[in-house]
Every structure is written in C-alpha cells, then in structure tokens.
C-alpha cells in the first residue's frame, strides 16, 4: 500500500495541465508519496506559489521571498 499526501497549492493564477503534472511529479520525488493536489487561487500572492503538505510549507511566492529579505535586513 502506497502512502499518499495532500498538497494545497496556492497561486495567483490558474495552472495549465502540463505544469500541474510536472509539479505533481516533483512533489512525489521530494516526499516519496503519491500526491493529491488541491488548488487555491489567491491574487494577493503577486507571483510564485505556496505549497503546504501536512505541516511543511514550501513558499516560493514573491510575498514570501520579500518577507525573508526583510527579516535578513532586520537581523543585520
């Protein structure tokens, strides 16, 4: 019996079917599990994607990257 994981993918625009398949395969390689994906549209992201699988968050959104940059400037 194979393990399955649920991925919640948040993006500012809808994806094409080809990109969805590539993303699903990439997530399968990273997690070692079959992936069930749920898509949420959020125009506030500006660009990029956020992916949550269980308690793990992968944030490649512009908003997330700007937040990391801000935190680095604050640290010095």
Query: How does pLDDT run across 3-42, given as a tens digit for each residue?
Result: 899 999 999 999 888 999 999 999 999 999 999 999 999 9
CB 8 within 8 A of CB 52: yes
When divided into structural domains, the chain yields a total of: 1
CATH code for the domain in which residue 53 is found: 3.40.30
Residue 57, domain extent: 4-75
Q: What are the pLDDT digits (tens) for 34-70?
A: 999 999 999 988 889 999 999 999 998 988 889 899 9
pTM > 0.85: no
Q: In what order do the strands lie in the sheet with 34-41?
A: 34-41, 4-11, 50-53, 56-59
- Give the whole-number percent of the chain exceeding pLDDT 90: 67
């Amino acid at each position: 019996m194979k393990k399955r994981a649920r991925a919640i993918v948040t993006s500012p625009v809808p994806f094409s079917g080809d990109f969805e398949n590539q993303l699903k395969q990439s997530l399968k390689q990273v997690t070692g599990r079959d992936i069930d994906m749920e898509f949420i549209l959020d125009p506030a992201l500006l660009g990029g994607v956020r992916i949550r699988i269980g308690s793990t968050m992968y944030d490649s959104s512009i908003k997330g990257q700007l937040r990391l940059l801000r935190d680095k400037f604050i640290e010095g």
